[in-house]
């Protein structure tokens, strides 16, 4: 998976576990998920994330309730895992993510900042809360939203820690369902990766809405 121009980058075993949200979301083996807006009824959230067997893992909620871009990442039974929202005063699009349902600085986990966006390609720089200077990104996300592909890298390296690509099958095409495969590589926090993908989805949906105006 990944985009064509990044095909020389191969997934590598990270030297130590990447745990941003919680150790419970770190697996010692590759972890595959499916995500899509139409996996859920509109009233049940913005989009859902399931395992490959269709069991619900996460939901992203809040789009219908908030004018300030506040979103909640909840698990299958509704426990609030993360809160993320757009920082309205930022010149570049910037999202902040917090543990649970608060927005207190002590619960701040990471910030995702739009670093580049063209007609089709979108890039994010992700800074952990401990990276106060934000001179160098802790993670980078490079995506081609037109092709529905993106790759998450560890820092400035070529180490791939997760990928997303559009899942094509006869059922999806026939019913117009947008479903994506997310592969998270070993020892990487998959809740963190889902949060990044949700933020990227929000940014690209905003762009689509702007283009239609």
Structure tokens belonging to residue 110: 């990471």
CA angle, 25 then 29 then 30, to 5° = 85
* Mean per-residue pLDDT of the chain: 78
Query: In CATH, what class is 4-212?
Result: mainly beta
Work out the average pLDDT over 71-77. Answer: 91
Domain ranges of the chain: 4-212
Q: Residues 178, 7: contact at Cβ < 8 Å? A: no
Task: Give the pLDDT confidence score for residue 170 in this predicted structure.
Answer: 42
d(CA 141, CA 152): 5
Query: Tens digit of pLDDT for each residue in 140-173?
Result: 999 876 667 889 999 988 899 999 887 654 444 3
Task: Give the pLDDT confidence score for residue 149 in this predicted structure.
Answer: 84
pLDDT classification of 27: cutoffs 50, 70, 90: very high
pTM of the model: 0.83
Query: Tens digit of pLDDT for each residue in 14-24?
Result: 778 999 999 99
Task: Give the pLDDT confidence score for residue 92 in this predicted structure.
Answer: 59
d(CA 174, CA 189): 34
């Amino acid at each position: 998976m990944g985009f064509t121009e990044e095909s020389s980058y191969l997934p590598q075993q990270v030297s130590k576990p990447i745990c941003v949200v919680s150790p419970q979301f770190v697996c010692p083996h590759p972890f595959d998920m499916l995500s899509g807006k139409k996996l859920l009824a509109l009233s049940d959230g913005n989009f859902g994330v399931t395992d490959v067997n269709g069991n619900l893992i996460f939901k992203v909620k809040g789009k219908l309730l908030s004018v300030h871009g506040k979103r909640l990442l909840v698990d299958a039974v509704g426990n609030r895992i993360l809160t993320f929202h757009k920082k309205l005063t930022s010149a570049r699009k910037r999202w902040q993510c917090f543990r649970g349902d608060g927005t207190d600085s002590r619960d701040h986990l990471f910030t995702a900042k739009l670093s580049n966006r063209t007609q089709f390609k979108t890039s994010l720089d992700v800074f952990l809360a401990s990276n106060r200077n934000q001179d160098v990104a802790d993670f980078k996300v490079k995506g081609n939203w037109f092709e529905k592909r993106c790759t998450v890298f560890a820092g400035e390296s070529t180490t791939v820690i997760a990928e997303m690509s559009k899942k094509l099958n006869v059922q999806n095409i026939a019913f117009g369902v947008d479903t994506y495969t997310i592969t998270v590589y070993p020892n990487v926090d998959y809740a963190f990766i889902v949060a990044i993908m949700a933020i990227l989805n929000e940014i690209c949906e905003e762009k689509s809405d702007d283009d239609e105006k």
